[in-house]
Structure 1
Amino acid sequence: MIKRTLFFGNPAYLSTRNGQLVVNFPEGDTDEKSIPIEDLGYVVLEHPQITITNGLLMKLVQNKTAVITCDKQHLPNGFLQPLVGHSEQTERIRQQLNASVPLKKQLWQQTVTAKVANQAKHLLKQGKNALKLKRWAHEVRSGDVGNIEAIAAAYYFQNLFDEVEGFSRNQKGVAPNNLLNYGYAILRAITARALLSSGLLPSVGIFHSNKYNAFCLADDVMEPYRPFVDALVYHIVESGYSTEEIDKKIKSELLLIPAMDVIIDGKQSPLMVAMSRTTNSLYECFSGTSRRILYPDFV
């Protein structure tokens, strides 16, 4: 089943009772609400005056629910993850750590190829020229020694938001960079959750290896999924809605990312389910039972 995403942007007291997440509001003008914990995939905590009990945190972690905290700029900045995400975790981590350099280079080649191909399809869908991206997608070599991933990304964003004055892809750049940052943060949490459920370490990547990054593998695996977030942000921009601030309406749209429909292995699937298929296929590559990562096709 598709897990629900809950967003809390106002002061609230969160606790648990009888397997339910119970919500009480300090103002007292709203009745108590409850939601089955087993139905939850993501809980986003934005307001600084949210109180959550340890009992609830324990049950959310046991349910593999991703608990995401936000900073003063209202952007996701933290992710609570379980110590044990899979019954075979120790063996799976051992296989992940023992992955050979040639294997990791081949996996990164597949990842970059899938990302650039999806970027090309997205540009085409928006009526923009994607001939270079289509060509580059076929030119990615093992380990992406030609750095096509970066070259393609620069070309892609230059053309995707060409009508936005002064836009370039930069975390601190002009809007809609703020929307992209928010969407990618949600996507990163989805990826980390799926990796943990597959018994893998999100911190040990196949390409990303920054010692200050605790989610290197998540940043690797989410790459081909980014165009789905881009498409959602592009739709918001094209609607004429102001993107200078991420208001409640925009957040409600971006928080639908886990439930977005994507095509993977020829079948339609919610993005969060597709991500689990991707991470499980990655484990199969580490274990030697497969040589192909399953990634979605942008259509």
Structure 2
Amino acid sequence: MFDEAFRTLFMSKPSKLSHKNNNLLIQDEKEVFIPLRDIHTIVIDTPQTTLTSSLMKELAKHKILVFFCDDSHLPSGVFSPFLTHYRSSAMLNSQISLSKQDKSVLWQKIIQAKIQNQTNLLKQENKTSTATKLQSLQKSVKLADSTNNEAKASALYFPSLFGKGFSRKDFSPINSALNYGYAIIRGCIARNLIGSGLLPSLGIFHANQFNPFNLADDLIEPYRSFVDSKVLSLGIETELELSHRIELVNLLNTRVLLGGKAYPLHRSITRVVWSVSNFVCGKSRELELPFFDKGSNGREVYESASDV
């Protein structure tokens, strides 16, 4: 599952998008051509951008993900190609047939990785007391997280990271930034799930009948700390500005450790989904999940091709 695309485009100025000779053509004050095969994701952050229908067809052909933002500049919709998998029916049957025991094992691994990454971020920020408490919770996660250690960890983690009294339920610039970053990564996960033949709406733990991305919401959990770290480094005070949004979109290119190797975040997602697919099909009992540490903390852009 190699994805050669590497560019993420952020469109914030009035422009017209079309295509010519397998290139994206951007027309504003001048004309810019970018090979479609190089583009992974496009974020449309202004209503003054127009796209041709023939371009949409080419975007689907080249497996390019497109986010559309609302008046608050938060991602409100996503265009994702079908990316038909050559064994989609067989994959779907395997996913539907996944046993309760296997789902419990998968969810346990996911939550262990999530809490470990939260612990590592707290250690990075010298929140050692809370980090020690989270480490204890991480070690005691049971099958299916039956004792709900995820929620216990979050109740300690967010106030320690963003300040006493902070709540994820508040309407604040920090939460807007977190939601923005989560939405970008969630969409990228959904794109890869479809490409692998897995059904995004059929989750491991999340099971909301109105949610088309339950499985993406499962797999995003270990990635949340990368967003949290980035938001913390931005020092947002009064509002989510354009510069902040650009930085959050660029999270797709941040350096992530996976199985001892470094990848740009968007490509690490490809490998994580691949490992889930192999687990679901019974090919492997191992699960590759991102690891947060000082060299892979959501703040450094991946620059070396030698690690992959």
Does TM-score exceed 0.5, indicating one fold? yes
The reply to whether residue 187 of structure 1 matches residue 185 of structure 2 is yes
Out of 250, 259, 265, the residue aligned to residue 259 of structure 2 is 265
The reply to whether residue 275 of structure 1 matches residue 269 of structure 2 is yes
SS in 1 for 2:173: coil
Mapped contact 1:208–1:220 kept (Cα < 8 A): yes
Mapped contact 1:106–1:143 kept (Cα < 8 A): yes
Distance in 1 (CA, whole Å) between partners of 2:80 and 2:99 is 27
Query: Is the alpha carbon distance of 1:114 and 1:259 closer, same or farther for their aligned partners in structure 2, counting shifts above 3 Å?
Result: same
Gap runs ≥5 in structure 1: none
Q: How many Å apart are 1:85 and its aligned residue?
A: 3.6
Distance in 2 (CA, whole Å) between partners of 1:85 and 1:110 is 28
Which residue in the other structure is 1:177 paired with?
Answer: 175
Which residue in the other structure is 1:148 paired with?
Answer: 149
Mapped contact 2:173–2:240 kept (Cα < 8 A): no
Residues 72-91 of structure 1 correspond to what in structure 2 (within 5 A)? Answer: 72-91=71-90
Mapped contact 1:179–1:246 kept (Cα < 8 A): yes
Out of 217, 223, 226, the residue aligned to residue 224 of structure 2 is 226
Distance in 2 (CA, whole Å) between partners of 1:260 and 1:196 is 23
The reply to whether residue 244 of structure 1 matches residue 238 of structure 2 is yes
Distance in 1 (CA, whole Å) between partners of 2:5 and 2:120 is 26
Alignment RMSD, CA only? 1.3
Mapped contact 2:18–2:24 kept (Cα < 8 A): yes
Which residue in the other structure is 1:3 paired with?
Answer: 6
Distance in 1 (CA, whole Å) between partners of 2:261 and 2:248 is 23
Letter of the 1:107 counterpart: L
Q: How many Å apart are 1:8 and its aligned residue?
A: 1.1
Superposed CA deviations along residues 81-130 of structure 1, whole A, max 9, x for unmatched, are: 22234222222122112111111111011100000011001100110020
Distance in 2 (CA, whole Å) between partners of 1:180 and 1:107 is 25
Superposed CA deviations along residues 155-188 of structure 1, whole A, max 9, x for unmatched, are: 110100126xx52122x52231111111111111
SS in 2 for 1:297: coil
Distance in 1 (CA, whole Å) between partners of 2:248 and 2:44 is 15
Gap runs ≥5 in structure 2: 294-308
Distance in 1 (CA, whole Å) between partners of 2:40 and 2:268 is 14
Mapped contact 2:5–2:37 kept (Cα < 8 A): no
Q: How many Å apart are 1:2 and its aligned residue?
A: 5.3
Residues 126-141 of structure 1 correspond to what in structure 2 (within 5 A)? Answer: 126-129=125-128, 130-141=131-142
Mapped contact 1:205–1:216 kept (Cα < 8 A): yes
Mapped contact 1:112–1:149 kept (Cα < 8 A): yes
Distance in 2 (CA, whole Å) between partners of 1:290 and 1:297 is 20
Superposed CA deviations along residues 50-88 of structure 1, whole A, max 9, x for unmatched, are: 211111111111111111111111100111122234222
Q: How many Å apart are 1:289 and its aligned residue?
A: 1.1
Superposed CA deviations along residues 263-299 of structure 1, whole A, max 9, x for unmatched, are: 1101111111111110000001100111122101111
SS in 2 for 1:7: strand
Distance in 1 (CA, whole Å) between partners of 2:220 and 2:250 is 16
The reply to whether residue 295 of structure 1 matches residue 285 of structure 2 is no
Superposed CA deviations along residues 176-229 of structure 1, whole A, max 9, x for unmatched, are: 111111111111112112212222111110000011111100000010011011
SS in 2 for 1:176: helix
Mapped contact 1:2–1:259 kept (Cα < 8 A): no
Query: Is the alpha carbon distance of 1:78 and 1:127 closer, same or farther for their aligned partners in structure 2, counting shifts above 3 Å?
Result: same
Q: Normalising to structure 1: TM-score of the pair?
A: 0.93
Distance in 2 (CA, whole Å) between partners of 1:160 and 1:101 is 34
Query: Is the alpha carbon distance of 1:42 and 1:253 closer, same or farther for their aligned partners in structure 2, counting shifts above 3 Å?
Result: same
Which residue in the other structure is 2:19 paired with?
Answer: 16
Which residue in the other structure is 2:207 paired with?
Answer: 209
Query: Is the alpha carbon distance of 1:49 and 1:175 closer, same or farther for their aligned partners in structure 2, counting shifts above 3 Å?
Result: closer
SS in 1 for 2:67: strand
What fraction of aligned residue pairs are identical, expressed as a percent? Answer: 39
Q: Normalising to structure 2: TM-score of the pair?
A: 0.90
Size of the alignment, in residue pairs? 288
Q: How many Å apart are 1:47 and its aligned residue?
A: 1.1
Which residue in the other structure is 1:198 paired with?
Answer: 196
